[in-house]
Amino acid sequence: MQMDKLEHSLKTSSLLVRDPTINRYINGVVCRVAGPHCQDIRVYLVRIPEFNASMAPNGVMQVWTGLLLRAENEAQLAYVIGHEIGHYLRRHSLQQWHDVRRKSSLFAYLNVLTRVVGVPGYAQDIGQLAAIGSLFKFSRDAERQADQMGSELTTAAGYDPREGAMVWKVLLKERDAEEEPSPWVFFSTHPPSEERIQTLERLPAEAPDQDRLEMIGEESYLDAVGSWWTMLLRDELRQRRFARTQVVLDRLAKRGKRLGELNYFWGELYRLRGEKDDKRKAEQAYQKALGYEGAPAETYRALGIIYLKSSDKAQARALLQRYLELKPEAEDRAMIKSYLANEE
């Protein structure tokens, strides 16, 4: 009953991603991994910039958009999905709920989660959600079983199971980069450990069929998710967890794709962080972005405003005018035009 209530909140949530193309892609990966269990699973893609996927006992699977930003290929996405399906098939979440159902914390967790998916201002609840979620931390045995089953499911679906270990390495690198540890919802229920990485590296070698198909699916993943990077990175930056965002940007840049867009967001990171020498770094990042095809129109605005505050007024005007040419319907058009008028 409680999960049915949460599912209703998901269906009507302003955070629900309703785009049919990306949903069709995510559902396709879920069904490929779940096999005959696909018909029992209802997938909701939720716009929350945290790495998380979860599956409830009634078949509701949530995939948060922060996961899409951090997975590097389809095989990594498939591992996370397979791991959650493993918990579902082993009834781990139901066992956990039975353990805490007599505690008010169960309903507190559900109430917080309902608020998170029900309103746009979710950020203030992430820490509380992680704290309460720690009560639902899976045991080591449950995690081992889910990893084992997740590896088997992804292997049977034709994915390279070695990518599972890469997911945890990426997450731990982000966590270790943060000077002040901040809450991770996924870590609160799935405690990280070196043992897990070693297990995920060992399991593929122990699989009986060594001639299996091992698809990684980097290109198919980028085709499906790459066009969402702008939204995902904007959401990521709004959290102002700059150290971990730097790790994300570094990893994305190594692919050599959409470098105009990525350098723009490097500039935005420096602009928002505002530490010593960040103004110069932001300017350099924006300039670098304009050297690549596909730099967002906002790059001209950001760089123009930097020059507007310096002595290079002519360059500032040229950049801001170019921004208005590229985005004639920009919401801040009136403000930019006023800047230009004041400099005449």
* Domain identity same for 191 and 91: yes
* Domain identity same for 136 and 196: yes
Tokens 């990521």 sit at which residue? 236
* Domain identity same for 161 and 53: yes
In this structure, is residue 225 part of a structural domain? no
Q: Contact, 43 vs 147, CB < 8 A? A: no
Adjacent-strand bridge partners of 44: 62
| Run of H or E residues at 61 | strand 60-64
Q: Quick one: pLDDT at residue 7?
A: 84
**The tokens of 20 are what?**
């049919």
| Run of H or E residues at 321 | helix 313-326
* Domain identity same for 24 and 148: yes
**The tokens of 81 are what?**
């999905």
* Domain identity same for 74 and 211: yes
* Domain identity same for 75 and 151: yes
Domain count, the chain: 2
State whether residue 57 is helix, strand or coil.
Answer: coil
In this structure, is residue 222 part of a structural domain? no
* Domain identity same for 80 and 149: yes
| Run of H or E residues at 42 | strand 42-46
* Domain identity same for 253 and 201: no
Adjacent-strand bridge partners of 60: 42
Q: Quick one: pLDDT at residue 189?
A: 64
Give the mean pLDDT per block of 10 residues along the chain (344 residues): 78 91 97 94 92 87 94 95 89 64 59 61 57 58 82 91 89 83 66 75 70 81 92 94 94 92 97 95 97 95 91 88 94 89 71
Measured distance CA(215)–CA(199) in Å, rounded: 20
Q: Quick one: pLDDT at residue 145?
A: 83
Q: Contact, 10 vs 23, CB < 8 A? A: no
* Domain identity same for 74 and 202: yes
> Looking at residue 261, which CATH number applies to its domain?
1.25.40.10
Tokens 């917080």 sit at which residue? 112
Q: Quick one: pLDDT at residue 194?
A: 75
Range of the domain at 274: 241-342
In this structure, is residue 122 part of a structural domain? yes
* Domain identity same for 204 and 282: no
How would DSSP label each residue in 146-158? HHHHHHHHHHHTT
